[in-house]
Amino acid sequence: MSHVIECQKISKRFGGNQVLKDLDLTVDAGESVAILGPNGTGKSTLIRILASVMRQSEGKVLINGSEMKDEAFALRSQIGLLSHTGYLYTSLSAEENLKFYAEMYSLKDPEKRIAELLEKVGLRTRRFDRVATFSRGMSQRLGLARALLHSPKILLLDEPETGLDQEGLDLLWSIIKTDDPDRTVVFTSHNFKSTVQACSRLIILKKGKIVYDAPKGDLTEDGLQALYHDVTGGKS
């Protein structure tokens, strides 16, 4: 059986700057994989490549055995993405944004799913308000609803805690865990507490390469912090 996600010798260059270097990675169904590493080490780049919003310079990405470059349009329907860019239209309301994406994914009975998600993310009473009036945290909540709208089997999260207060953080991970417990999740983070609570496996990147990859086991927040600083040389 093929892996849900497989990266084979992935490299990415921006001009003369090589961000990812011959990276190999496999992720199996149901895993929750945290990717940590210093700023500029390629975490966000890797997420964007997995989501097919960016093309690698070399190497292959396979989703459920199909190569991304050949089947990008079809494979996107299996993937939900929440990143710094919310992919939201600020001139539209929360509900209008979700209706737009529901049409894109040809959802059946979208009204029911939209109402369910707006309730889950705490935006039911703001459903008719334009996104331009939302705070950063509210936009992030709506971005999560957009990412989950089509019930993807793979969820990619690039520092999803951005702009969220503690209530928002608790809500984020609660929704991710309960919306589909069997979903495969890959996320980047600088938050050690959220990481140890949410992940089943830890990956640490440094200078575009994987320098640590292991199950979380019984690692605590303090243990993760010590491990991270040891592996990265104290860089954040």
Query: What does residue 86 show for φ and ψ, rounded to 5 degrees?
Result: -75, -10
Pair (124, 228) in one structural domain: no
Q: Based on the fold, state whether residues 234 and 201 are members of the same structural domain.
A: yes
Q: How far apart are the first and last CA of the chain?
A: 37
Same domain for 145 and 156, yes or no, is no
CA distance 236 to 225: 10
Residue type, 179: D
**Residues 208, 232: one domain?**
yes
Q: Domain ends where: 135, 151, 167?
A: 151
In terms of pTM, does the model score above 0.85?
Answer: yes
Element (H, E) at 56: none
State whether 33 and 108 are in the same domain: no
124-157: per-residue pLDDT in tens?
Answer: 999 999 999 999 999 999 999 999 999 999 999 9
66 with 174, same domain: the answer is yes
Of 122, 151, 180, the position where a domain reaches its end is 151
Are 5 and 22 part of one and the same domain? yes
Do 177 and 161 lie in a common domain?
yes
- Residue 227 and residue 178 in one domain: yes
Tens of pLDDT, residue by residue over 51-89, are 999 999 999 999 999 898 877 778 888 999 998 777 899
- What is the rounded average pLDDT of the residues 24-38? 96
70 and 161: one domain?
A: yes
Q: Which domain holds residue 126?
A: 83-151
Q: Return the amino acid letter for 153.
A: K
CA dist., res. 46 & res. 44, Å (int): 5
Q: What is the token pair recorded at 235? A: 């860089």
Count how many domains the chain has.
Answer: 2
